[in-house]
Structure 1
Amino acid sequence: MLSVLIADDEKKVGLLIKNLIEWERLGLNFLGLVQDGQSAYDIILREHPDIVITDIRMPKLTGLEMIEKVSMSGIKVHFIVVSGYRYFEYAQRALKYGVKDYLLKPIDETELNKILEKVYAEEMQKQNLENKVETLEKDLFHSRHMLHKELMERAFSEKNEHGGEEKSLVLPAEEKLVGRGYFQAVSLKVDRDITGERDVPKERLIMQKLAEKAEESLQALTIDLVVSVKGGMWLMLLLNFREDDNERIQEALDAMFYKMRNYISGFEGCAVTMGCSPGITEFSKINLILEISREAAERRIFEGCGKRIENYGDSSGGETASKSWTDILSGRREQIKGDISIFRTGELGRTIKECFEEAERMQLMASEYYGLGNGLIAEYAAVVLELFQTEPEKAAQWQEAVGHCRTVSSLQKYIKDALKEDLETIRKRREDLERKPVLNAIRYVQENYGQKILLEDVAEMVGFNASYFSEIFKKETGKNFTTFLLEVRIEESKTMLRDTTKTIYEIAADVGYKDAKFFSQQFTKMVGIKPKEYRRLYY
Structure 2
Amino acid sequence: MIVPLSYISPIYSSLEKHLKHLQNHLKRENIGFDFHSLAFHRTIVGMKVLVADDERRVCALICALIDWEGLSLQNVGTAYDGLEALEKIKEEKPDLVITDIRMPGLDGLELISQAKALQPNLQFIIISGHKQFDYAQSAIKYGVAEYLLKPIKKQELNQTLQRMKKLYTEQTSSMILQKKIKEDREYIKGASFLSFLKSLDSQILSPWVTENVLLRILVIGIQSPSKVPVIQLLQQKVRTAIEKDSLNVCVQAYQGDLYLLYTYKQEQRSQLISQAETLVEILKVQAQIFQDLRSTVALGLEVQQLEDLPSSLLSGKQILLRRLVDGHHRMFEANMLEKPDLEPYLDFIASWFEQCCAQESLNMRQFCLDLFDKLEENRISLYATMEIFLQSYRQALHFAKEQCAQENAVQNNEQLINEAESLEAAKEAYCNVMNSLICQYREAREVLVSKPIRLSITYLQEHYKDEMLSLELLSEHVNLNSSYFSALFKKNMGVGFSDYVLTLRIQEAKRLLVETNKGIAEIALEIGYHDPKHFTKIFKKNCQIKPNEYRKLYG
TM-score by length of 1: 0.58
Distance in 2 between the 1:368 and 1:289 partners? 17
Give the match for residue 335 of structure 1. Answer: 352
Q: State which of 514, 538, 543 in structure 2 corresponds to 1:522.
A: 538
Distance in 2 between the 1:119 and 1:361 partners? 45
Give the match for residue 497 of structure 1. Answer: 513
- Ranges in structure 1 where 5+ consecutive residues have no aligned partner: 1-117, 126-141, 160-166, 194-198, 316-320
Query: Equivalent residue of 2:542, what SS?
Result: helix
Give the match for residue 260 of structure 1. Answer: 283
Distance in 1 between the 2:460 and 2:310 partners? 71
Q: Which amino acid aligns with 1:379?
A: Q
Q: State which of 216, 220, 239 in structure 1 corresponds to 2:240.
A: 216
Distance in 2 between the 1:263 and 1:400 partners? 23
Matches within 5 A, 1:230-379: 230-236=254-260, 238=262, 240=264, 243=267, 246=270, 253-267=276-290, 269-276=292-299, 290-313=313-336, 321=338, 323-340=340-357, 342=358, 344=360, 346-379=362-395
Distance in 2 between the 1:518 and 1:276 partners? 87
Shift of 1:255: 4.2
Shift of 1:526: 0.7
Shift of 1:260: 1.8
After superposition, what is the alpha-carbon deviation per residue over 1:470-502, rounded to whole angstroms, capped at 9, x for unaligned?
Answer: 212111110011111111222222222223333
Q: Which amino acid aligns with 1:274?
A: V
> CA 1:122/1:538 → structure 2, altered by over 3 Å: closer, same or farther?
closer
Distance in 1 between the 2:261 and 2:27 partners? 29
- Ranges in structure 2 where 5+ consecutive residues have no aligned partner: 1-23, 32-180
After superposition, what is the alpha-carbon deviation per residue over 1:155-200, rounded to whole angstroms, capped at 9, x for unaligned?
Answer: 74554xxxxxxx898999xx99546xx876532100134xxxxx6x
Give the match for residue 447 of structure 2. Answer: 432
> CA 1:487/1:244 → structure 2, altered by over 3 Å: closer, same or farther?
closer
Q: Which amino acid aligns with 1:257?
A: V
> CA 1:222/1:393 → structure 2, altered by over 3 Å: closer, same or farther?
farther
Query: Equivalent residue of 1:228, what SS?
Result: strand
> CA 1:368/1:509 → structure 2, altered by over 3 Å: closer, same or farther?
same
Distance in 2 between the 1:413 and 1:259 partners? 31
| Residue pair 1:348, 1:420 contacting (<8 A) in 2 also | yes
Q: Which amino acid aligns with 1:230?
A: Y
After superposition, what is the alpha-carbon deviation per residue over 1:307-343, rounded to whole angstroms, capped at 9, x for unaligned?
Answer: 3334444x9xxxxx45333342134443333333x16
Distance in 2 between the 1:290 and 1:219 partners? 22
Q: State which of 166, 169, 187 in structure 1 corresponds to 2:219.
A: 187
Distance in 2 between the 1:361 and 1:346 partners? 23
Give the match for residue 38 of structure 1. Answer: none
Q: Which amino acid aligns with 2:251?
A: V
| Pair 1:442-2:457 in alignment | yes
> CA 1:351/1:119 → structure 2, altered by over 3 Å: closer, same or farther?
farther
After superposition, what is the alpha-carbon deviation per residue over 1:137-162, rounded to whole angstroms, capped at 9, x for unaligned?
Answer: xxxxx99x979989976874554xxx
| Residue pair 1:381, 1:392 contacting (<8 A) in 2 also | no
Distance in 1 between the 2:192 and 2:455 partners? 63
Moved more, 444-453 or 343-352: 343-352
Matches within 5 A, 1:334-483: 334-340=351-357, 342=358, 344=360, 346-384=362-400, 387-389=403-405, 397-452=412-467, 453-483=469-499
> CA 1:519/1:283 → structure 2, altered by over 3 Å: closer, same or farther?
closer
Distance in 2 between the 1:516 and 1:413 partners? 68
> CA 1:228/1:438 → structure 2, altered by over 3 Å: closer, same or farther?
closer
Query: Equivalent residue of 1:221, what SS?
Result: coil
| Residue pair 1:349, 1:420 contacting (<8 A) in 2 also | yes
> CA 1:495/1:326 → structure 2, altered by over 3 Å: closer, same or farther?
same
| Residue pair 1:374, 1:402 contacting (<8 A) in 2 also | yes
Shift of 1:245: 8.7
Distance in 1 between the 2:459 and 2:332 partners? 69
Distance in 2 between the 1:492 and 1:356 partners? 61
| Residue pair 1:343, 1:423 contacting (<8 A) in 2 also | no
Q: Which amino acid aligns with 1:307?
A: R
Distance in 2 between the 1:538 and 1:335 partners? 60
Distance in 2 between the 1:440 and 1:420 partners? 31
> CA 1:259/1:222 → structure 2, altered by over 3 Å: closer, same or farther?
same
| Residue pair 1:343, 1:424 contacting (<8 A) in 2 also | no
| Residue pair 2:276, 2:297 contacting (<8 A) in 1 also | no
Shift of 1:376: 0.8
Query: Equivalent residue of 1:537, what SS?
Result: helix
Distance in 1 between the 2:196 and 2:505 partners? 75
Give the match for residue 11 of structure 2. Answer: none
Shift of 1:298: 1.6
Structure with bigger gyration radius: 2
Q: Which amino acid aligns with 1:489?
A: R
> CA 1:271/1:237 → structure 2, altered by over 3 Å: closer, same or farther?
farther
Distance in 1 between the 2:504 and 2:353 partners? 44
* Superposition RMSD in Å: 4.2
> CA 1:520/1:263 → structure 2, altered by over 3 Å: closer, same or farther?
same
| Residue pair 1:226, 1:237 contacting (<8 A) in 2 also | yes
Matches within 5 A, 1:24-173: 122=28, 156-157=197-198, 159=200
Distance in 2 between the 1:510 and 1:245 partners? 94
Query: Equivalent residue of 1:309, what SS?
Result: strand
Q: Which amino acid aligns with 1:216?
A: T
> CA 1:406/1:343 → structure 2, altered by over 3 Å: closer, same or farther?
farther
> CA 1:363/1:155 → structure 2, altered by over 3 Å: closer, same or farther?
farther
> CA 1:350/1:245 → structure 2, altered by over 3 Å: closer, same or farther?
closer
| Residue pair 2:389, 2:430 contacting (<8 A) in 1 also | yes
| Residue pair 2:215, 2:263 contacting (<8 A) in 1 also | yes
Shift of 1:214: 2.4
Distance in 2 between the 1:432 and 1:394 partners? 12
Distance in 1 between the 2:503 and 2:424 partners? 55
Distance in 2 between the 1:170 and 1:120 partners? 10
TM-score by length of 2: 0.56
Shift of 1:375: 1.0
| Residue pair 1:302, 1:408 contacting (<8 A) in 2 also | yes
Q: Which amino acid aligns with 2:541?
A: K
Give the match for residue 100 of structure 1. Answer: none
Moved more, 446-455 or 344-353: 344-353
After superposition, what is the alpha-carbon deviation per residue over 1:266-323, rounded to whole angstroms, capped at 9, x for unaligned?
Answer: 4464311122468x6967777655544433322112222233334444x9xxxxx453
